[in-house]
């Protein structure tokens, strides 16, 4: 399995994570913050399924752009998310104010997108992958996403504050190779992290200890302005198996 954190910075330093999309084997996207700005329409057309963790703009910002880029492919892209998130797409994004409502009023040539509700703890087969959603602790309904292929599993745990259910679930996952875990703020911002349902580095260390032993931990969702502070604090913690995920680098598991 290959996992790519799509770049979302067009400046000289591509390491800033402004928006969030994780691409699995070039065909499955978890979140769509930067998906529509990546590569070219041909490459984007390989993506057949998008799983949304929650409704915040840094995770859905480019979804309309992506769907427009690949429109006309048969069958259309399917977006999988909780009922709350799907309702939010209809009311807040595809509402004719933010973007044309091409869900309830699809183009005459065919569906613009397919929406499928994703229920917690129910596996769903999506091409070569199987995905499972597990609720986590954020300020809006949010899920972690387990992505499995034939013999490899990777768990995306973001956006979240301190949580527990997902770690009980992870302990039972066979062939879990990596956990993508948010480290949004340095410890000076722990109060803000608690208010917004995120993790500062000290909290990251606690969640790191809840994950199954021996799997790679990739720190993600680091606020760009606080990136160096978070990196330094993570380095001082000397947590085993932890590295900061680099946008644009392919991780093979």
Tell me the three-class secondary structure of 34-95, residue by residue: CHHHCCCHHHHCCCCEEECCCCCHHHHCCHHHHHHHHCCCCCCCEEEECHHHHHHHHHHHEC
Find the mean pLDDT for residues 39-43.
Answer: 96
Does domain 2-252 correspond to CATH entry 3.40.50.11540?
no
Q: How far is CA 182 from CA 21, 201, 212, in A?
A: 13, 9, 16
Distance from C-alpha of 253 to C-alpha of 173, rounded to nearest angstrom: 15
- Model confidence, pTM: 0.97
Whether the predicted pLDDT of 248 surpasses 90? yes
Per-residue model confidence (pLDDT) at position 187 = 98
At 225-238, the pLDDT tens digits run: 999 999 999 999 99
Distance from C-alpha of 63 to C-alpha of 231, rounded to nearest angstrom: 30
At 69-111, the pLDDT tens digits run: 999 999 999 999 999 999 999 999 999 999 999 999 999 889 9
At 148-207, the pLDDT tens digits run: 999 999 999 999 999 999 999 999 999 999 999 999 999 999 999 999 999 999 999 999
Per-residue model confidence (pLDDT) at position 132 = 98
Find the mean pLDDT for residues 25-37.
Answer: 98
Assess contact for 159 and 56: CB atoms under 8 A: yes
Binned at pLDDT 50, 70 and 90, residue 239 comes out as very high
Give Cβ neighbours of residue 186 (< 8 Å, ≥ 6 apart). 200, 201, 226, 229, 230, 233
56-45-103 Cα angle (round to 5) = 50
Helix (H, G, I), strand (E, B) or coil at 148: strand
Q: Domain residues of the chain, as ranges?
A: 2-252
Per-residue model confidence (pLDDT) at position 109 = 87
At 59-69, the pLDDT tens digits run: 999 999 999 99
Q: Which two tokens stand for residue 195?
A: 């208010």
């Amino acid at each position: 399995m290959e996992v790519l954190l799509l770049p979302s910075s067009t400046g000289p330093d591509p390491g800033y994570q402004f928006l969030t999309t994780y691409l699995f084997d070039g065909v499955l996207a978890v979140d769509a913050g930067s998906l529509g700005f990546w590569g070219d329409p041909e490459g984007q057309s390989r993506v057949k399924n998008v799983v949304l963790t929650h409704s915040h703009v840094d995770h859905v910002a480019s979804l309309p752009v992506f769907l427009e880029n690949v429109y006309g492919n048969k069958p259309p892209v399917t977006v999988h998310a909780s009922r709350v998130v799907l309702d939010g797409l209809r009311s807040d994004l595809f509402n004719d104010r933010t973007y044309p409502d091409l869900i309830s009023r699809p183009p005459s040539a065919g569906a613009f997108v397919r929406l499928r509700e994703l229920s917690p703890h129910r596996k769903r087969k999506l091409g070569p992958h199987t995905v499972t959603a597990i609720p986590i602790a954020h300020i809006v309904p949010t899920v972690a996403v387990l992505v499995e292929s034939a013999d490899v599993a990777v768990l995306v745990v973001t956006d979240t504050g301190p949580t527990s259910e997902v770690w009980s679930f992870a302990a039972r996952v066979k062939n879990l190779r990596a956990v993508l875990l948010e480290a949004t703020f340095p410890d000076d911002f722990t109060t803000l992290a608690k208010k917004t349902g995120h993790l500062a580095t000290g909290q990251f260390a606690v969640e790191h200890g809840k994950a199954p032993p021996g799997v790679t931990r990739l720190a993600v969702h680091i606020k760009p302005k606080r990136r160096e502070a978070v990196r330094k604090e993570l380095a001082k913690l000397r947590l085993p198996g932890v590295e900061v995920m680099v946008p644009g680098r392919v991780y093979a598991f």
